[in-house]
Amino acid sequence: MSTLKVITEDFSAWSCCGEALQPTPVELEYMDSRFNVELPVCPKCGMVLIPEELALGKMAEVERLLEDK
């Protein structure tokens, strides 16, 4: 499965646990479907940042498509 690169904004200025967030492939799951997406992740604790524009835009669109199936 390929990794989608959907982030256009630079999140290197954002930090967590005193570390800059790093673009990292993560696996998202919704309704038995899995997606590999590159998102900003804290290298120390592993917390993932899902930007508002992604959550309310593309992710919401994919949710609607999956729910309509």
Share of the chain above pLDDT 70, in %: 67
Domain locations in the chain as residue ranges:
3-68
Classify residue 39 by burial, with Cβ atoms within 10 Å: 0-12, 13-18, 19+: buried
Give the residue with greater pLDDT, 20 vs 64. 20
Residue 18: which pLDDT band, with cuts at 50, 70 and 90? very high
Task: Give the Cα separation of 60 and 65 in Å (integer).
Answer: 9
Q: Which CATH class is domain 3-68?
A: alpha beta
- pLDDT confidence of residue 2: 62
Dihedral sign from CA coordinates of 41, 36, 65, 9: positive
**Is residue 9 within 8 Å of 40, Cβ to Cβ?**
no
- 33-58 pLDDT tens trace: 787 888 999 999 999 998 877 777 66
- pLDDT confidence of residue 5: 63
Please give the average per-residue pLDDT across 8-30, as a whole number.
Answer: 85
